[in-house]
Structure 1
Amino acid sequence: MSARGEGDGDIAVIGLGRFGRHLAGALTRLGHQVLAVDRDGDQVQRWAATLDQVVQADATEETALRQLGIADFRRVVVAIGTSVDASVLTVLALAEVGVPQIWARATSEKHAKILASVGAHHVVFPEAETGERVAHLIVSRMLDFIEFDEDFAIAKVPVPPPLVGRPLRELALDERYGVVVVGAKPAGERFRYADQDTVLDAGSVLIVEGGIAQVQRFAALR
């Protein structure tokens, strides 16, 4: 069977565990054609009606990948999490067929190093990244939080009570708190880019960026 993916928006996802199937579904909703691959026939049958293309194949075998037309995909994600051996062999096989962008899920630092050494271009730690994000949300007033580096984050926070009714020009948040307000969403309205004349209304939600500690302190203002 061949499932050629010559379009730039086509992506293959290998492994239909929890992470893989959620990823495949999210990519589909973003408008991409997704080829989902799993060697478990039950998983393939279970998700065949939900995803664009679902096929049963052993992705550790280079021959099977070529038969699927994987060599024509620009981006392939190895979402296998239950078997380190299978994920490593799959990345190696993808590298052998010449996939330009191989993304792979790692379960440990050692696993990540092995994946990179055999050909993965991008390695992700979904469990660790989700855990960090949820931890920040639990212990703060932030509504959402994304960490981009060891000391930089963007967060969605309600307007701190002491700042209600005041324009950004007057507040000098960068100097006082080390954060920059990127956007604001008044209650019942859409997000809009913030400027120096933006007034922080009660009930508004802000998008702020800055150092992690600074963002946390800003969100905690009372």
Structure 2
Amino acid sequence: MRVAIAGAGKVGRAIARELLSNYHQVLLIDRDPDKGREGVVAGAEVLLGDTCEIAVLDEADLPACQVLIAATGDDKVNLVVSLLAKTEYGVPRVVARVNHPKNEWMFDEAWGVDVAVSTPRMLSALVEEAVTVGDLVRLFTFRQGDANLVEMTLPASAGVVGSRVGDVTWPVDTALVAIIRDSRVIAPSPDDSLEAGDELLFVASDEQESALEDLLGD
């Protein structure tokens, strides 16, 4: 897979290294000569230029990319490059970094964003996840389909404790995707049991979160 990353700062470079370690092709784009220099990330292509300029995006050959990641520290830049990537070049998947929570509402399909990643919101969610048991915590929002990645640590008093996954009537538009137990990640099968203290990860629609919390709560 070929991935273009707008912004070769610390975040962009870290993403590039991770993608390269998984054998993807990576193009880093930055207008700062120090960040947009050859060899800034070993194995990545580098393009020096402003990602808000059509000529630069033409040179980047975005139609050949399956994913664009807008990872600059400027929300305005991330929105503009997301919109151009989606509307002008038809990039199938656009992921954008949200730097300031007050701007999060703009990062949607209207601006070409498929997935918005808000660092402040994710850090807040991870803090909640670490200290709460029996409460549903939203970790991530998928822009396509209005679905969320949510987590709950199953309390001992939950009615489903001891039940088989296949015997539980889950809310519609809800999928149990992983059980984390004793540092193990379990891909749930119908025969797996639910135990107190399990960390359950779901993909669920907005409308079903309250029903899921009622099912799993005290």
TM over 0.5: same fold?
Answer: yes
In structure 1, distance between residues paired with 2:217 and 2:128: 12
In structure 2, distance between residues paired with 1:78 and 1:147: 17
Alignment partner of 2:36: what SS? helix
The letter for the 2-side match of 1:65 is: L
Say what the alpha-carbon RMSD is for the aligned residues. 4.5
Alignment-derived partner of residue 28 in structure 1: 20
Alignment-derived partner of residue 50 in structure 2: 58
Alignment partner of 1:43: what SS? coil
Residues 191-202 of structure 1 mapped to structure 2, 5 A cutoff:
191-195=186-190, 197-200=191-194
The gaps in structure 1 that reach 5 residues or longer are 1-8
Alignment-derived partner of residue 100 in structure 1: 91
Q: Measured at CA, do residues 71 and 183 of structure 1 come closer, stay the same or move farther in structure 2, by a change above 3 Å?
A: closer
In structure 1, distance between residues paired with 2:80 and 2:148: 35
Residues 1-222 of structure 1 mapped to structure 2, 5 A cutoff:
9-45=1-37, 48-50=40-42, 52-82=44-74, 84=76, 86-91=77-82, 94=85, 98-101=89-92, 103=94, 104-106=96-98, 107=100, 108-109=103-104, 111-112=106-107, 116=110, 120-122=112-114, 124-127=116-119, 129-141=121-133, 146-148=139-141, 153-155=149-151, 157=153, 160-162=155-157, 166-168=162-164, 183-184=178-179, 187=182, 191-195=186-190, 197-200=191-194, 206-207=200-201, 211-213=208-210, 221=218
In structure 2, distance between residues paired with 1:66 and 1:32: 21
Q: Deviations over 1:118-142 (max 9, x none)?
A: xx25362423541452353154138
Structure 1 residue 69, shift from structure 2 partner: 2.8
The gaps in structure 2 that reach 5 residues or longer are none
Residue identity (%): 18
Q: Measured at CA, do residues 188 and 68 of structure 1 come closer, stay the same or move farther in structure 2, by a change above 3 Å?
A: closer
Structure 1 residue 24, shift from structure 2 partner: 2.8
Q: Deviations over 1:178-211 (max 9, x none)?
A: x98665466476514242x534457765446765
Q: Is the 8 A contact 2:148 2:203 kept in 1?
A: yes
Which structure has the larger Rg over C-alpha atoms?
1
Report which of the two has the higher share of helix.
Answer: 1
Q: Measured at CA, do residues 187 and 45 of structure 1 come closer, stay the same or move farther in structure 2, by a change above 3 Å?
A: same
Structure 1 residue 155, shift from structure 2 partner: 1.9
Q: Deviations over 1:152-172 (max 9, x none)?
A: 653263x53347983438x95
TM-score (norm 1): 0.61
Structure 1 residue 214, shift from structure 2 partner: 5.9
Structure 1 residue 14, shift from structure 2 partner: 0.7
In structure 1, distance between residues paired with 2:203 and 2:86: 37
Give the length in aligned residue pairs. 204
Alignment partner of 1:41: what SS? coil
